[in-house]
Amino acid sequence: MLVTGLSFVAVTALVKVMGKGMPPAEAAFIRYAMGLVFVMPVLRTLVDAHLTARLWGLFAVRGFLHAIGVILWFFAMTRIPLAEVTAMNYLAPVYVTIGAALFLGEKLAARRILAVVAALVGAAIILRPGFRDLSLGHAAMLVNAVVFAVSYMVAKVLVDEAKPSLVVAMLSIWVTIALAPFAMADWVTPTWRELAILFGVACFATAGHFSMTLAFRAAPLTVTQPVTFLQLVWATALGALFFAEPVDIFVVLGGTVILSAVTFITWREAVLRRQPITPPTPATKL
């Protein structure tokens, strides 16, 4: 989980370094297109899979939703501080919990409701509406969390009917397809520097997902989940040291509140011996 956190913070830092020169949709498309090289080991699984029309539809819907979320994330990444992007990423698992209760029939007990309310309070602490100006980057991250939450609820349905490796591979393929028209609509010829940065993003994102999988195999979510808090610490330090971003104690406090709520929800699900619907925080990353 330590390696996972470092990998995902590296992803955000690289996108920050790249800046605003490339449209968000194009940057996301190139990142996913380059990431397809990591799908090649499971091509045999794709060929052998006998998918129904319903599964194809679900894969396509999830790919489109995830593509929108990725565009919003790339847009926000170049407009608000690293720490704020990292902290607001923690909201997606909370929205999944709400969505699971509304659409997947999961029971939302009083303690989980209080945890959800606490997470929303944490978001209010970060944003502080009325006390500071909010940018389009903040709005993008709020919508991003909702879109990713819906994407992971679709994934919950898919993993009950298809192999996890197939679900992951199809996500990469369909997101690339869905991003293509958005990228072509506002295409800017990338520089070699930008291509190198985006390939680094693809490598670190893949490494993060791989190390996260190893962590989940070695320990329960109740052990691995709290470690994700270090991502906020690293993102805050990185933003201050390399991007001259001021340390905002309210962002750290709000992120801590949100992650504490997510950790509590995860712990309650483990206690109740139910299969978790709320994904671990890193799972909502790129």
> What is the span of the domain harbouring residue 125?
2-284
Q: In the prediction, which pLDDT does 104 show?
A: 67
94 touches 261 (CB < 8 A): yes
- The predicted pLDDT at position 17 comes to 87
pLDDT digit string (tens) for 244-256?
A: 888 888 888 988 8
In this prediction, residues 172-185 reach a mean pLDDT of 93
Tokens read off for 215: 């962590």
Q: What is the largest CA-CA distance in the chain?
A: 56
Instruction: Please tell me the total count of domains within the chain.
Output: 1
Q: Is the pLDDT reported for residue 98 higher than 90?
A: no
More confident residue, 243 or 63: 63
Task: Over range 25-52, report the average pLDDT.
Answer: 82
46 vs 10: which has the higher pLDDT: 10
Q: What is the mean pLDDT of residues 96-111?
A: 75
Buried b / exposed e across 251-274, counting CB within 10 Å, b at 16+? bbebbbbbbbbbbbbbbbbeeeee
Find how far residue 244's CA is from the centre of its chain.
25
Q: Which residue has the higher pLDDT, 55 or 265?
A: 55
Whether this model's pTM surpasses 0.85: no
* pLDDT at residue number 285: 54
Range from 78-87, 111-120, 177-186 that averages highest in pLDDT: 177-186
Q: Is the pLDDT of residue 229 over 80?
A: no
Q: Is the pLDDT of residue 274 over 60?
A: no
pLDDT higher than 70, residue 283: no
pLDDT at 149: 85
Left if phi > 0, otherwise alpha if psi is -120 to 50, otherwise beta: which for 187? beta
